[in-house]
């Protein structure tokens, strides 16, 4: 796991004045990576770093030839239209570039005037996925979410016997992963209406969001070579926000015996910026199990993970409808939770994913599963917040929702804060539902 170093120093300020504003997502202590170009241009996409309200153009920075060694090697591959090669270099190279950027962007930097022309306002940029996603695996790591959903399906036995032992996951669809701002059509699938004797093909009536984190794999592992838990985070490049949209009525009919299929594969939306594992070092917390719970199997247990394997990341979900936007009514917060409450950590997900010899590759994406807290208002999906659609949520402007309607926009936000350190954020991930495709 990443150690604290000078890049986390809360006293450091940047010559980019917007990076010094209290409550911002992208101070000097963050420096997340993404892929961008100027909006509406024919420029090639290339790597960028968020600093304040701007993007530092890594393609232009490479041309300046400011550095040598690992930082220069890492910067060179950030000129590409996807960051897979950069992620594959591993945490040392990423750390070297992040350290060099921190020095170049701080208040007393000797190269500030050379970098200033290569700042692009974030509002004037367009983004694509930070990496080419070869495979997408979605986990089910929140015990509070699993229990709440289990109560709706199996009130007498909410958690299946394997849940507390195995980081449960399914193989998702990488081709439908898109960057924030995605509009997607309401999906169709087979539904079994209540009381019916046969299913029908129809547009989903129970469309939902899922408040998740995404993990981009950095350096991969060879086929047949499991990654030990103590080394698992070396294979995680960084985290983003992730919304794994779900058609709950399609899911209810199709999920047995093999799990989600068409109910999940139509859209997954991720944030543009990937916060490195190193940037998250100040916000580590112990990974604990409640008293009386069985110990995990040996391959899922490690003293370092117990000491600081969890991360306190605050997560929020917001909703605004087409009518709210037309009336100038701001988005309404639906819930807030923390990733520290997850039953499994990032390291557990990576280690379990490879224990059978499965080979992860640079740019592969892991979803944490819906992150819900122990309280009802900390639920990370409408399925939980509305008790399966039985308790509508009242919205500003007089509307209500059990599940998402056409024109609804969901925005997820995330950040870390702790006394003695500078708050860092993930930006946001937005997605909007549009009507189903005509038949």
Check whether 157 has a pLDDT greater than 90. Answer: no
What's the average model confidence in pLDDT over 77-106?
A: 98
Residue 99 confidence (pLDDT): 98
What's the average model confidence in pLDDT over 302-327?
A: 97
Residue 110 confidence (pLDDT): 96
Residue ranges of domains in the chain, CATH in brackets: 6-128 (2.30.30.230), 136-434 (3.90.850.10)
Check whether 233 has a pLDDT greater than 90. Answer: yes
CB-based contact 37:59 (threshold 8 Å): no
What's the average model confidence in pLDDT over 365-384?
A: 97
Check whether 71 has a pLDDT greater than 80. Answer: yes
Check whether 269 has a pLDDT greater than 90. Answer: yes
Q: Give the model's confidence band at 178: pLDDT under 50 very low, under 70 low, under 90 confident, else very high.
A: very high
Check whether 140 has a pLDDT greater than 80. Answer: yes
Is the pTM above the cut of 0.95? yes
Check whether 1 has a pLDDT greater than 80. Answer: no
Token output for 299 = 């391959």
Q: Would you give the distance in Å from CA 40 to the centre of its chain? A: 26
Asked about 145 being catalytic, the answer comes back as yes
Residue 427 confidence (pLDDT): 98
Residue 29 confidence (pLDDT): 98
What's the mean pLDDT when you consider all of the chain?
A: 97
**Reduced 3-state DSSP string for the chain:** CCCCCHHHCCCCCECCHHHHCCCCCCCCCCCCEEEEEECCCCCCCEEEEEECCEEEEHHHHHHHCCCCHHHHHHHHHCCCCCCHHHHHCCHHHHHHHHHHHHHHHECCCCCHHHHHHHEEEHHHEEEECCCCCCCEEEECCCHHHHHHHHHHHCCCCCCCCCCCCCCCEEECCHHHEEECCEEEECCEEEECCCCCCCCEEEECCCEECCEEEEEEECCCCCCCCCCCHHHHHHHEEEEEEEECCEEHHHHHHHCCCCCCCCCCCCCEEECCCEEECCCCHHHEECCCCCCCCCCCCHHHCCHHHHHHCEECCEEEEEEECHHHHHCCCCCEEEEEEEHHHCCCCHHHHHHHHHCCCCCCCCCCEEECCCCCCCCHHHCCCHHHHCCCCCCCEECCCCCEECCCCCCCEEEEEEEECCCCCCCEEEEEEEEEEECCCCC
Residue 256 confidence (pLDDT): 87
Q: Give the model's confidence band at 46: pLDDT under 50 very low, under 70 low, under 90 confident, else very high.
A: very high
pLDDT tens for 19-42 read 999 999 999 999 999 999 999 999
> Choosing from 8, 62, 144, 145, which is the catalytic residue?
145
Residue 169 confidence (pLDDT): 97
Residue 104 confidence (pLDDT): 98
Q: Give the model's confidence band at 13: pLDDT under 50 very low, under 70 low, under 90 confident, else very high.
A: very high
């Amino acid at each position: 796991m990443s150690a604290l170093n000078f890049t986390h120093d809360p006293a450091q300020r940047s010559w980019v004045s917007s990076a010094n504003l209290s409550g911002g997502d992208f101070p000097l202590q963050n420096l997340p990576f993404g892929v961008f170009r100027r909006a509406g241009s024919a420029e090639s996409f290339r790597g960028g770093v968020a600093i304040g309200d701007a993007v530092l153009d890594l393609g232009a920075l490479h041309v300046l030839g400011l550095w040598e060694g690992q930082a220069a090697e890492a910067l060179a591959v950030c000129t590409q239209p996807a960051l897979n090669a950069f992620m594959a270099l591993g945490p040392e190279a990423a750390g070297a570039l992040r350290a060099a950027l921190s020095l170049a962007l701080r208040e007393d930097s000797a190269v500030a005037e050379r970098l200033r022309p290569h700042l692009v306002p974030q509002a004037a940029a367009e983004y694509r996925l930070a990496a080419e996603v070869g495979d997408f695996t979605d986990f089910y790591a929140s015990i509070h979410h699993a229990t709440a959903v289990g109560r709706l399906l199996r009130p007498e036995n909410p958690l299946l016997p394997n849940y507390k032992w195995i980081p449960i996951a399914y193989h998702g669809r990488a081709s439908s992963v898109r960057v924030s701002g995605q509009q997607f059509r309401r999906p169709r699938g087979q539904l079994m209406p209540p009381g019916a004797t046969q299913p029908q093909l129809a547009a989903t009536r129970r469309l939902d969001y899922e408040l998740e984190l995404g993990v981009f794999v950095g350096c991969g592992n060879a086929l047949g070579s499991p990654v030990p838990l103590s080394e698992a985070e070396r294979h995680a490049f960084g985290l983003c926000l992730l919304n794994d949209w779900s058609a709950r009525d399609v899911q209810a009919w199709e999920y047995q015996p093999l799990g989600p299929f068409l109910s999940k594969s139509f859209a997954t939306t991720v944030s543009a910026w990937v916060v490195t594992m190193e940037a998250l070092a100040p916000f580590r917390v112990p990974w604990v199990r409640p008293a009386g719970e069985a110990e995990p199997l040996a391959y899922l247990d490690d003293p370092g993970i117990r000491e600081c394997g969890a991360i306190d990341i605050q997560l929020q979900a917001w909703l605004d409808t087409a009518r709210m936007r037309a009336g100038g009514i701001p988005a309404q917060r639906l819930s807030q939770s923390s990733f520290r409450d997850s039953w499994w950590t990032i390291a557990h997900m990576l280690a379990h994913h490879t224990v059978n010899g499965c080979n992860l590759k640079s740019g592969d994406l892991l979803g944490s599963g819906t992150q819900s807290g122990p309280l009802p208002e900390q639920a990370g999906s409408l399925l939980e917040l509305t008790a399966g659609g039985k308790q509508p949520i009242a919205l500003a402007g007089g509307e209500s929702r059990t599940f998402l309607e056409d024109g609804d926009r969901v925005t997820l936000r995330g950040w870390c804060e702790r006394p003695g350190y500078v708050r860092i954020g993930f930006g946001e991930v937005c997605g909007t539902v549009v009507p189903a495709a005509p038949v």
